[in-house]
Amino acid sequence: MSNNIHVILSGGVGSRLWPLSRKSNPKQYLNLFKEGSLFGMTVLRNRELCNKVMVVGNCDNYQLSKEVLDSQGVEYIDIVEATPRNTAAAIAFAAFAAAPDDILVVTPSDHVIVGEDDYASAIQTGIAKAKEGYIITFGIKPTRPETGYGYIEYEGDKVLSFREKPNHDTAEDFIERGNFLWNSGMFCFRADTFLSELQQFEPKVYATALAAWQHQKEGRLDEGFSKKIPSISVDYAVMERSKKIRVVATQFQWSDLGSFESLYDYLRSTGYPVDENGNMIIGSDMYTAFVGLKNTIVVYTDDALLFVQKEKSQDVKKVYNTLEKHQSKLID
């Protein structure tokens, strides 16, 4: 009998949420919410939908995953990447660790989802289609002309095209046309179906990932073999090329919390305080006054202070990249 396996991808750093998110404590492990961390919330929402759990992380964060899963009493299969090789390889490792007919429900570990019943319905629909041999992607009904997400053009459950992150005018056009969804980065498929498609479209990724997996020791991947794997996203490797793709248009509310703007919107929706001009403080109880500022976010940590205009939140990554270029300890 096949298993439904929740595969959690937890390798991201969350550079747009610096200085909260660091290499040693990425955004998915930050306890910013009443419910705990995004990682913990991801585990909980899938417990009744899947009977096994796999975590694909890296040598910097696998202990953080362990702390959360142990606290929830969850047994899991731990796959630790020696070096990041993008999502195509990460998902391949999970498929190699599964039985051929197991259904993999692949999710990031750093998303907020509201609407448990709608979420469960979408996943169950995806599992049913995956059992028929399809590769399922989950699309989110857009609520605004977002330029930070990829889009899926669809008709029924058929994918007509995948679109890269658009400019604002193009995103507005997508919304007006009404047959576009945000690409959530969540997938569902049989393990053997995915591996067959990966081998067809990216044989080098398949072969080098398999070699790395064959030399793993208790889920720890060898660095030398891992470095030979091309770094390619699953979207490019399989999703945009396979003829077996189907989409589930979901009804739940979703955010990848990929910027302080999206974090601000989510926190505000939960009653987090802002002043009369929409200014917000994160990370401190210190009295802070804003004069002549609107929609400004102030982020406190022990060693850094960030002031960002809500609408410019995507540019925080530039600060992170500059610090990384100078090998600053502020990102560790």
Query: So what's the pLDDT on residue 93?
Result: 97
Query: So what's the pLDDT on residue 104?
Result: 98
Please indicate, yes or no, if residue 155 is contained in any of the structural domains. Answer: yes
Do 150 and 77 sit in the same domain of this protein?
Answer: yes
| The total number of structural domains that make up the chain | 2
How far apart (Å, rounded) are the C-alpha atoms in residues 94 and 195?
10
How far apart (Å, rounded) are the C-alpha atoms in residues 289 and 281?
10
CB contact at 8 A, 135 and 248: no
Tokens representing 115 are 């609407």
pLDDT at residue 81 tops 90: yes
Of 9-18, 130-139, 182-191, 208-217, least confident by mean pLDDT is 9-18
CB contact at 8 A, 52 and 3: yes
Please indicate, yes or no, if residue 263 is contained in any of the structural domains. Answer: no
Residue 152 pairs with which residues in a beta bridge? 162, 181
Do 79 and 210 sit in the same domain of this protein?
Answer: yes
Distances (CA, A) of 211 to 77, 95, 286: 19, 14, 53
Query: So what's the pLDDT on residue 51?
Result: 95
Residue 220 pairs with which residues in a beta bridge? 80, 217
Please indicate, yes or no, if residue 267 is contained in any of the structural domains. Answer: no
Do 211 and 324 sit in the same domain of this protein?
Answer: no
Tokens representing 223 are 């660095």
Please indicate, yes or no, if residue 138 is contained in any of the structural domains. Answer: yes
Q: What is the DSSP string of 255-304?
A: E---SHHHHHHHHHHTT----TT--EEES--S----SS--SEEEEE-SS-
Do 127 and 248 sit in the same domain of this protein?
Answer: yes
pLDDT at residue 31 tops 90: no
pLDDT band at 13 (very low <50, low <70, confident <90, very high): confident
pLDDT at residue 5 tops 90: yes
pLDDT at residue 147 tops 90: no
Do 206 and 68 sit in the same domain of this protein?
Answer: yes
CB contact at 8 A, 189 and 134: yes
CB atoms within 10 A of CB 172: 14
pLDDT band at 94 (very low <50, low <70, confident <90, very high): very high
pLDDT band at 33 (very low <50, low <70, confident <90, very high): confident
pLDDT at residue 48 tops 90: yes
Q: Which domain holds residue 12?
A: 4-255
pLDDT band at 19 (very low <50, low <70, confident <90, very high): very high
Do 124 and 172 sit in the same domain of this protein?
Answer: yes
Query: So what's the pLDDT on residue 141?
Result: 95
Question: What's the mean pLDDT in 225-253?
Answer: 96
pTM for the full predicted model: 0.91
Last residue in a domain, options 255, 283, 300: 255
Do 229 and 280 sit in the same domain of this protein?
Answer: no
pLDDT at residue 23 tops 90: no
pLDDT at residue 324 tops 90: yes
- What are the pLDDT digits (tens) for 162-179? 999 999 999 999 999 999
Do 214 and 321 sit in the same domain of this protein?
Answer: no
How far apart (Å, rounded) are the C-alpha atoms in residues 159 and 181?
10
Do 239 and 141 sit in the same domain of this protein?
Answer: yes
Alpha-carbon torsion angle 75, 37, 105, 221, nearest 10 = -60
Please indicate, yes or no, if residue 209 is contained in any of the structural domains. Answer: yes
pLDDT band at 2 (very low <50, low <70, confident <90, very high): confident
> How do strand 151-155 and strand 158-163 relate by DSSP bridges?
antiparallel
Q: What does pLDDT average to over the chain?
A: 94
How far apart (Å, rounded) are the C-alpha atoms in residues 223 and 227?
6
Do 202 and 57 sit in the same domain of this protein?
Answer: yes
Do 231 and 289 sit in the same domain of this protein?
Answer: no
- What are the pLDDT digits (tens) for 111-128? 999 999 999 999 999 999
Query: So what's the pLDDT on residue 35?
Result: 81
How far apart (Å, rounded) are the C-alpha atoms in residues 211 and 78?
18
Last residue in a domain, options 205, 220, 255: 255
- What are the pLDDT digits (tens) for 179-208? 999 999 999 999 999 999 999 999 999 999
Do 299 and 233 sit in the same domain of this protein?
Answer: no
Please indicate, yes or no, if residue 265 is contained in any of the structural domains. Answer: no
Largest Cα–Cα distance in the chain?
64
Alpha carbon 139 to its chain centroid, in Å, reads 13
Q: Running DSSP on this structure, what letter comes out for residue 182?
A: E
Q: What is the CATH number of the domain that holds 237?
A: 3.90.550.10
pLDDT at residue 9 tops 90: yes
- What are the pLDDT digits (tens) for 282-321? 999 999 999 999 999 999 999 999 999 999 998 999 999 9
Last residue in a domain, options 255, 281, 313: 255
